[in-house]
Amino acid sequence: MPISLYDLSVPTFLQTASAVGNVLDRTTRHCAETGGDLEALVTARLFPDMAPFHFQIEALTQHAVWGLKAVETGAFAPPPLIGAMPFADLRAMVGRAVTALEAFSPEEVNSCSGKVLDIDLYRPVDEKNHTTSSWGPRKFAFTPETFLLSYSLPNFYFHAVTAYDILRAQGVPLGKFDYEGRLRARSSSN
């Protein structure tokens, strides 16, 4: 059975976004039980030059929802980042992303399959040293499939795992199953 554009995107984003929501709920309970400072986690980082926790949550929601909107519109144009906010607002942001993802219908997403997308992305590029230290806009030629598989999904997963890692580094007792979320196994009757 061939896999559709909807199948490779929406359920995939939903699985991890829902898991991130559960991780944030678990983090809230952990801090309540241990007296931990939930709000200090908002600005926690893995390393001084890495983006803080709140950025990871904003970016993962943008790559999921606005990645799919880019497939429809041909423009990756997420709203500006908000910045540090209360932990509960980060949880609400993930909830809104899940609701937005659930609103995409298979017909709506699949109707975009195979179309041509020329999307401006801001990628870090240092042509002289072939590194990624300076920012510059570049236009990329994609199809919806290649955009999601080579840009939005990798960025989405990067920010989801970085958020998870920040919480683990801060002592929140999470495991691999928390990150994986609900697996999409076929029913045993199939």
- Give me the residue spans of the domains in the chain: 12-105+117-180
Of the candidate CATH numbers 1.20.120.450, 1.10.3720.10, 1.10.10.10, 3.30.1330.60, the domain formed by 12-105+117-180 belongs to 1.20.120.450
The tokens 């929406």 sit on which residue?
10
Percent of the chain with pLDDT over 70: 89
46: Cβ–Cβ under 8 A, 6 or more apart, which residues? 162, 165, 166, 169
The model's pTM: 0.88
| Angle at 93 (CA atoms; ends 41, 149), nearest 5 degrees | 100
How far is it, in rounded angstroms, from Cα 117 to Cα 20?
A: 29
**Res. 42: pLDDT tops 80:** yes
The predicted-structure confidence for 79-124, as pLDDT tens digits, reads as follows 888 999 999 999 999 999 999 999 999 999 999 998 999 888 765 5
Nearest to 26 by CA among 168, 155, 183, 162: 168
3-class DSSP assignment, residue 117: strand
Given pLDDT bands bounded at 50, 70 and 90, which one contains residue 133?
Answer: very low
Mean pLDDT of the 23-39 span: 97
Least confident of 45-49, 108-112, 117-121, 134-138: 134-138
